[in-house]
């Protein structure tokens, strides 16, 4: 008997039990809640012949950029490719294969074709959206979703996720008013959609409205934090708003609690931990021995070299904890990655190696070298992934390095630049004051 998912797509090899578990896993992934890996295992136990259950399991192990996830995804692909598959499912299998080979951009294009042919395939849209994030393709973050919206309506399960993804794409392309509108509509439909909450948080970050951001993230924090595997990142956004207002003690409280109190070894959580501690140190805050726990968890994958954006954040932890051996391990892994065949060779060559070396130079006190490395990449940093908010760390590091290098002219220019974009920012005003002080002391 042929079965169909909630969007009307035929699903090969499924029975009623496996399809129900698959739909549950897909919903959990769309909202970033629960345990979609456990749910998809239920689907596979109910029907090992369900092709899309293998596909979803592969995606779940690939989208965290965890080095160990690649082998799991390869096994999923190997199991699924011998099973019956329709045209839509074959597109997903090809995307999985390409991702296991590190060919992110080709996988994104493959899923683009799936979405053109099957615009109500929520999984193709969501995985494609995540690939656009990892490759820094802000236009496709928006347009991949915009193309599919006419095929959707509120009556189709998962519509909230389309609105949340569209909101994030709109924000990354600078349409902040429409992004906020779509993000709010998303969480009105599904209050547990962590990506929708996150999209609106990005709007307030980019518009430098930290008080509005705090109000947004605290109005119903249970909705986006309870049993959510995306909660750390949303707590991180709340911490950024508080740091902008100079509330260092509150930021440290969040770090010690929901951000890194459990000392997660999940890569995406460690990225947030590294990024927050680095921002605190740039502000001159005393972070105590907090770097040690973060570095300990980065240590086992210091030499992975599978995604340059991760390397930069691992280097922050190793610089902060003064682990020179692990600093060298990251640099060696990046040099090896430069000779690779996947897209990470480009991510590393174009941005990642310079960014990671700049963090290393900053830690060594060679601020002039840090400036030299960061200036050529700051305007193309999207090429190694992340969001505008995450990549702001490059600008913040450059500004601080310019001050510490004694480059009065560049420091003043960068401070004026930031103040023009964020005229109400307390941090931007602090930079301008510091630059003025340097000029008077000259």
pLDDT of 30-76, one tens digit each? Answer: 999 999 999 999 999 999 999 999 999 999 999 999 999 999 999 99
The overall average pLDDT reported for the chain is 97
If you count them, how many residues does the chain have?
442
Note the pLDDT of residue 298.
98
What's the average model confidence in pLDDT over 95-124?
A: 98
Residue 430 CB partners (closer than 8 Å, separation 6+): none
Q: Please state the pTM of the whole predicted model.
A: 0.97
Residue with tokens 């979405």: 115
Rounded to an integer, the average pLDDT of 399-426 is 97
pLDDT of residue 442: 63
Identify which of 384, 390, 387, 392 has the alpha carbon closest to the alpha carbon of residue 344: 384
Over the stretch 223-249, which tens digit does the pLDDT of each residue have? Answer: 999 999 999 999 999 999 999 999 999
Exposed / middle / buried, residue 211 (Cβ in 10 Å: 0-12, 13-18, 19+): exposed
Give me 167's structure tokens: 């909101």
Query: Given a cut of 90, is residue 1 above it in pLDDT?
Result: no
pLDDT at 140 over 90: yes
Q: What is the largest CA-CA distance in the chain?
A: 82
Under a CB-based contact definition with an 8 Å cutoff, are residues 153 and 180 in contact?
Answer: no
């Amino acid at each position: 008997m042929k079965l169909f998912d909630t969007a009307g797509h035929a699903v090969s090899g499924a029975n009623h039990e496996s399809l129900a578990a698959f739909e549950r896993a897909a919903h959990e992934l769309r909202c970033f809640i629960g345990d979609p890996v456990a749910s998809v295992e239920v689907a596979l136990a109910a029907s090992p012949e369900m092709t899309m259950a293998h596909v979803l399991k592969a995606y779940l192990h690939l989208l965290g950029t965890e080095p160990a996830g690649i082998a799991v995804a390869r096994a999923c692909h190997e199991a699924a490719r011998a099973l019956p598959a329709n045209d839509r499912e074959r597109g997903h299998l090809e995307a999985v294969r390409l991702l296991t080979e590190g060919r992110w951009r080709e996988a994104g294009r493959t899923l683009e074709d799936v979405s053109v042919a099957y615009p109500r395939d929520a999984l193709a849209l969501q995985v494609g959206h995540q690939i656009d994030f990892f490759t820094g393709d802000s236009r496709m973050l928006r347009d991949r979703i915009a193309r599919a919206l006419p095929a959707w309506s509120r009556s189709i399960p998962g519509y909230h996720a389309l609105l949340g993804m569209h909101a994030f794409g709109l924000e990354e392309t600078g349409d902040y008013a429409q992004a906020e509108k779509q993000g709010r509509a998303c969480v009105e439909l599904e209050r547990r959609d962590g990506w929708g909450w996150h999209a609106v948080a990005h709007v307030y970050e980019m518009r430098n409205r930290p008080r509005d951001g705090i109000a947004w993230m605290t109005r119903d924090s249970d909705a986006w934090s309870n049993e959510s595997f995306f909660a750390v990142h949303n707590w991180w956004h709340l911490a950024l708003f508080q740091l902008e207002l100079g509330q260092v003690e509150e930021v440290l409280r969040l770090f010690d609690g929901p951000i890194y109190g459990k000392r997660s070894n999940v890569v995406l959580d460690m990225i947030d931990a590294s990024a927050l501690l680095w921002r605190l140190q740039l502000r001159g805050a005393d972070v105590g021995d907090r770097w040690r726990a973060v570095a300990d968890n980065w240590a086992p994958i210091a030499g992975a070299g599978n995604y340059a954006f991760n390397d930069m954040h691992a280097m922050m932890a190793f610089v902060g904890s003064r682990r020179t051996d692990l600093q060298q391990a990251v640099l060696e892994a990046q040099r090896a990655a430069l000779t690779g065949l996947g897209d990470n060779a480009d991510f590393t060559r174009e941005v990642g190696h310079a960014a990671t070396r700049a963090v290393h130079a900053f830690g060594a006190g060679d601020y002039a070298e840090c400036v030299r490395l960061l200036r050529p990449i700051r305007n193309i940093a999207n090429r190694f992934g992340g969001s505008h908010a995450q990549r702001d760390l490059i600008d913040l590091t450059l500004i601080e390095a310019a001050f510490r290098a004694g480059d009065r002219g560049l420091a003043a220019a960068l401070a004026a630049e930031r103040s023009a974009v964020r005229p109400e920012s307390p941090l931007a005003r602090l930079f301008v004051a510091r630059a003025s002080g340097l000029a008077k002391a000259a």
